Chains A and B, each alone.
Chain A
Amino acid sequence: MIYPWIWARLPGRFLGKLATAVLLVVVVLAVLWFAVFPMAEAVLGLDEVTVGP
């Protein structure tokens, strides 16, 4: 029930809510793509391609 909860709290009427929702989604995706995923990759060791002891 998170999304109905957020939707109810977005400002404006339908179009205003829609615009804010799209903006929120874009912000979340950008944070994931540029900050969280590069860190997760390093933590999970998916970027290891070298040989070493």
Chain B
Amino acid sequence: MLIDRPATTGVVDDEFWEPSWRPVVRGVGEILITLGLIVCLFAAYEFYGRSWRIEAAQDQVDTVLDRQWQEPGSAAPVAGQPIARVHIPKLNRKWAVMEGVTTDDLRKGPGHYPGTARPGQVGNMAIAGHRIPSVFWDIDRLRDGDAIVAETKTGWYVYRVVGRRKVLPTQVEVIDPDPFHPGGRPRTAMLTLTTCNPKLQNWQRLVVFAELDRTQARSQGRPAELKEAP
């Protein structure tokens, strides 16, 4: 059956007809929706993707660390290699800490600022880590007296939290050998954690200070602070 339908009468009765600008508007709309979805996905990546990646990398560097400790002799820290393990029993967390704070190092776990003290040394052992669930997300929950335990080939170093600060990213004095008297000669062994603050933003740094409380040789077994934590 044929229906005589004049195409150029100027009468619009075709339901598929649309003004010529409408496909353009629709195209722009599609692009905007697509960009919006990509931004949502990027947010998901920042939160979960980085965490998963660090957890996967941690499994690997943890094994590397155990292998290093089985070899005889004590090696100097090598950039990009794990140097120690740090436990925070209150947060039920432990990590193999990398030597170095480059982007690549921090993608594997917390990183030890090169040139700062090593575990147990007088000075300031400074460690940076991402503010994401698998790293330093909850370190704002640490209170004075909470234990942070550094584990090396030879022993355990139990630090106790003594303070927290929120600083600007340029305030390097927080990783000074004596963070409470910058420029002075250090008398105690400190451990300092830095991460970004507020959560999911990066215009401040959250800093947690801890001071060495006691040392325990490996032969004496795990310190009591870690007994209940994994």
Contact = CB atoms under 8 A, between A and B. Distances in A.
A40 B42 contact: yes
A2 to B, nearest CB: 5
A49 B196 contact: yes
A45 B46 CA distance: 12
A41 B175 CA distance: 25
A49 B26 contact: no
A48 B169 contact: yes
Interface string A10-53: 00000000000000000001001100010011100111111111
B69 interface: no
B149 interface: no
B46 A52 contact: no
A34 to B, nearest CB: 9
Contacts of B167: 51
Contact of A33 (B45, B136, B171): B45
Contacts of B31: 2
Determine the interface band of chain A, counting residues with CB < 8 A from chain B. 10 to 19
Contact of A51 (B34, B111, B170): B170
A20 B174 CA distance: 54
B38 to A, nearest CB: 7
B45 A53 contact: no
A48 B27 contact: no
Among A41, A52, A53, which residue has the most Cβ atoms of chain B within 10 A?
A52
A51 B106 contact: no
A33 B111 CA distance: 24
9 contacts: A1-B23, A1-B30, A2-B31, A33-B45, A49-B129, A49-B130, A49-B136, A50-B205, A51-B170
Interface of A: 1-3, 29, 32-33, 37, 40-42, 45-53
Given A47-B130, A50-B111, 13 more contacts: A1-B23, A2-B27, A2-B30, A32-B38, A37-B46, A42-B103, A46-B202, A47-B103, A49-B131, A49-B196, A50-B194, A50-B205, A51-B175
By Cβ-Cβ distance, the 6 closest A-B pairs, closest first, are: A50-B128, A37-B45, A1-B27, A50-B101, A1-B23, A49-B196
